[in-house]
């Protein structure tokens, strides 16, 4: 199965797409009535897509992005640039001594600007990780679902990365997962391999622990499912 995109539900997709294009150094590629797509410029094998939504953000997201930096100057520079483009500092309970900086994008989605001394994301580009509040079980689920190897599995914390070592890590922090509030604003969209089909993949994912969501929330191109932690994702036809 292929990871096709990380998707955002956005109140202003065009504005948010340009914010994230600047944050990551990616390119705004496709603008249609139902989505805006960012194309990676760093070797990442999936896109980022922004879908229009009238729903407002509720509570802390279960998924957020970590952006790496190469120096203290680089960290300060990107923080300043993102604030100029609509980001703001937020407090999610982090210690004042934490070396990373927590921001919210123009629609309140959390992101972290990682300090340059961080070794865990040292060989990643600017897009360091999709960081998730999630159980060890869900890390194992996604490793099997995407057929991406575990690159970290200690103390209930898990992380996976594309087999060719490109793009960001996807990580789960383990421990107790906070109660979910509403539908996730950030979610993954996946698709069957070239020689596969959508229904076969849906059946395989169910065998791994995923569940089908109310079919009325699916459409002709995508089937909505939830992973073992209850996070929505979409299985596309191709």
The pLDDT tens digits for 180-231 are 888 999 999 999 998 888 999 999 999 999 999 876 555 657 899 999 999 9
Model pTM score: 0.93
Other CB atoms within a 10 A radius of the CB of residue 189 amount to: 20
pLDDT of residue 23: 97
What pLDDT score was predicted for residue 32?
73
- Nearest CA to 90 out of 109, 66, 74, 71 is that of 109
* Residues 111/64, Cβ–Cβ less than 8 Å: yes
Task: Note the residue count of the chain.
Answer: 238
pLDDT, residue 99, reads 82
- Cα gap 139→141, rounded to integer Å: 5
What per-residue confidence (pLDDT) applies to 94? 67
Q: In this predicted structure, what is the pLDDT of residue 217? A: 59
pLDDT of residue 218: 55
| pLDDT score recorded for residue 116 | 94
Domain 2-172 has what CATH class? alpha beta
Q: 207 CB contacts (<8 Å, ≥6 apart)?
A: none
For 55-73, b where at least 16 C-beta lie within 10 A, e where not — what string?
eebeeebbbbbbbbbeeee
Lookup: tokens for 50: 């922004």
Return the DSSP state at 74. Answer: H
Can you give the pLDDT at residue 5? 96
First to last CA, the chain: 10
What distance in Å separates the CA atoms of residue 36 and residue 51, rounded to the nearest whole number? Answer: 7
* Domain extent listing, the chain: 2-172, 187-236
pLDDT, position 216:
56
Backbone φ and ψ for 81, nearest 5 degrees, come out as -65, -40
Return the CATH fold of 187-236: 2,3-Dihydroxybiphenyl 1,2-Dioxygenase; domain 1 (3.10.180)
Q: Name beta bridge partners: 167.
A: none
Task: Tell the residue number behind the tokens 């969209």, with chain if given.
Answer: 189
Same topology for domains 2-172 and 187-236, yes or no?
A: yes
Q: Which parts of the chain fold into alpha helices (H)? A: 13-24, 72-84, 136-146, 198-208
Please check whether residue 112 is in contact with residue 64, taking contact to mean a CB–CB distance below 8 angstroms.
Answer: yes
Q: What is the pLDDT along the chain (238 residues), one digit of tens a residue?
A: 999 999 999 999 999 999 999 999 999 997 776 889 999 999 999 999 999 999 989 889 999 999 999 999 999 999 999 999 999 999 777 667 778 899 999 999 999 999 999 999 999 999 999 999 999 999 999 999 999 999 999 999 999 999 999 999 999 999 888 888 889 999 999 999 988 889 999 999 999 999 998 765 556 578 999 999 999 999 998 8
Question: Which pLDDT score is estimated for 177?
Answer: 87
Q: Count the neighbouring beta carbons within 10 Å of the beta carbon of residue 200.
A: 12
Instruction: Name, in order, each residue with C-beta under 8 angstroms of 83's C-beta and a sequence gap of 6 or more.
Output: 89, 103
């Amino acid at each position: 199965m292929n990871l096709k995109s990380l998707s955002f539900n956005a109140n202003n997709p065009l504005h948010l797409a340009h914010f994230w294009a600047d944050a990551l150094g990616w390119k705004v590629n496709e603008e249609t009535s139902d989505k805006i797509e960012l194309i990676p410029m760093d070797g990442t094998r999936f896109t980022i897509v922004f879908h229009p939504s009238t729903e407002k953000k509720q509570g802390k997201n279960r998924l957020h992005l970590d952006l790496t930096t190469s120096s203290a100057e680089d960290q300060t520079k990107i923080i300043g640039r993102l604030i100029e483009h609509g980001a703001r500092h937020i407090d999610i309970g982090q210690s004042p001594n934490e070396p990373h900086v927590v921001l919210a994008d123009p629609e309140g989605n959390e992101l972290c600007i990682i300090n340059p001394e961080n070794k865990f994301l040292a060989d990643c580009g600017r897009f360091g990780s999709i960081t998730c509040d999630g159980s060890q079980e869900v890390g194992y689920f996604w490793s099997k679902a995407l057929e991406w190897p575990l690159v970290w599995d200690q103390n209930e914390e898990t992380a996976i990365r594309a087999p060719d070592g490109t793009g960001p890590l996807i990580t789960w922090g383990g421990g107790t997962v906070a109660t979910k509030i509403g539908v996730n604003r950030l979610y993954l969209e996946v698709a069957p391999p070239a020689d596969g089909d959508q229904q076969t993949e849906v059946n395989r994912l169910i065998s791994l622990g995923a569940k089908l969501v109310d079919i009325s929330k699916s459409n002709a191109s995508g089937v909505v499912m939830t992973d073992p932690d209850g996070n929505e994702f979409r299985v596309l036809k191709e």
